[in-house]
Every structure is written in C-alpha cells, then in structure tokens.
Amino acid sequence: MGYEFDFSAVLTDQYIGWLLSGIRITLMLSAGAWLLSFAVGTALAVLRATNFKPAVWLVATFVEIHQNIPLLVQVLFWYFAMPEILPEAWRDWLNQNNSEFILAMIAIAMCHAAYISEALRSGLRAVPVTQYEAGRSFGFSYLQTMSYIVVPQALRLSIPPLVNHSLLLFKNTSIAMAIGVHELTYQTRQIDSDTFRTFEIFLVATILYILMSFVIMAAGNLAERRFGMGAR
C-alpha cells in the first residue's frame, strides 16, 4: 500500500488563487497587527516607566490578562462580545467593513502588545539613567526625552526578543480563521475539504509559512546588524 502523493490536485490555478489570496490576507493581518502591537506596546512600556503607581498597576494588569488568557479566547471575545458593548454606529461600521478582519487584528495586536511591552521594559531598564538626564538637561520634556533618546535605544537593545515576538505574532494570525478571516490557514482548510488531499495541501501551507518566517528572521538579522547597539 502506501500513500500516493498527488500535488497536481491541490495546485490547480483555482487553488493557487485561493492560496495567494490567503497569503495576502495573512500578510495584511500580520502587518496591521504588528504595527498596532508595537505602537500600543511602546506606549504601555513608557507608561509603566513613569513609575506612577496607578499607571504601573494598569499596565501590569493589562499584561497579566493578555498573557494568561489563550489567544483564541481573546479573538473570540473581541469578535462575539466586544461589538455588543460598542455604540450602534460603530457596530454598523464594523459590519460593513470586514469586521472579522479588523477585530482579529485588534485582538492579536493587543495580546502581543503585552509581550512587546514586557520586552521593551527590560530594554528601557538597560538604558543608563544618565541618558535620560542628559536629555532632560537640554530642556526636553519627559515625553520628548523618551521618544528621541530613551525609547530608540531601548528598541535597539531589545531587537532579538522583539524579532521573536514578531515571528510569534505572524504565526498566531492563523487563529483568525476561527472567526472566518480568509487567511492562509482558512484557505488551506477550504482546499482540503474540496479535494480531501489533506497531506499535500498542509505540506504546501507549511512550506509557505516557513518561507515567510525566514523572511521575517532575515529582516530581524538585518535590523540587528544595522541598528543593534553592538553594531558600531
């Protein structure tokens, strides 16, 4: 006996089209969630660095919640529960504008913002306080000093963990299929149920994910060489 591989069944023009559209959505979801998670993660880390008690508590709570609840649950929560408490106008807008994509993006971004803020927190602690003082001594405000001097250094110091989190975020976009986002894993499942060529199509999807991960890792290496604090 033995399994007869037949890739021609899954690599027809139609299915290649589905895969490409899945890749497009996966990349869009990754890019959107990545940008949002870095913006929110940086804001959280800076907020925490104020050492202002309520801010520290707020950020710590945000981080705990997002790190301890499964991402799938968070995605389902954003998709099924959040719209209920939104104003009607927002809900209508979401429904007309691809709500599953937007809510999946927000859910993934918020979860990873928690991890990114933690990675940046160690980076921020590694920036000598004298750098902060030098910034303030020119007359820069707290926020100016953070954004021109301290955060850029913390980001550079945190490149390795930030690259890891970026990879993880990219892989986690597959969870969005649970609420019907037509990303790569969703399309793979569709082709599978059309053709019953489970092994072949998942092998193809695996290779596609690995290739894209390689690109992210290569970009990370480049960033480390170009911007890493040991670079010069």
Residues at the interface with another protein (CB under 8 A): 130-131, 133-134, 136-141, 144, 148-149, 152-153, 156, 227, 229, 232
End-to-end CA distance of the chain: 60
**Beta carbon nearer to another protein, 25 or 151:** 151
- Assess contact for 159 and 220: CB atoms under 8 A: yes
Q: How far is the CB of 55 from another protein (least distance, A)?
A: 21
Residue 94: helix, strand or coil by DSSP? helix
Task: Please say whether the dihedral angle defined by the alpha carbons of residues 22, 23, 28 and 34, taken in this order, is positive or negative.
Answer: positive
Q: How far is the CB of 193 from another protein (least distance, A)?
A: 51
Residue 181: helix, strand or coil by DSSP? coil
Q: How far is the CB of 161 from another protein (least distance, A)?
A: 18
Q: How far is the CB of 144 from another protein (least distance, A)?
A: 7
> Which residue, chain included where needed, has tokens 């290779």?
207
**Beta carbon nearer to another protein, 155 or 201:** 155
Count other C-beta atoms under 10 Å from residue 5's C-beta: 11
**Beta carbon nearer to another protein, 63 or 124:** 124
**Beta carbon nearer to another protein, 17 or 128:** 128
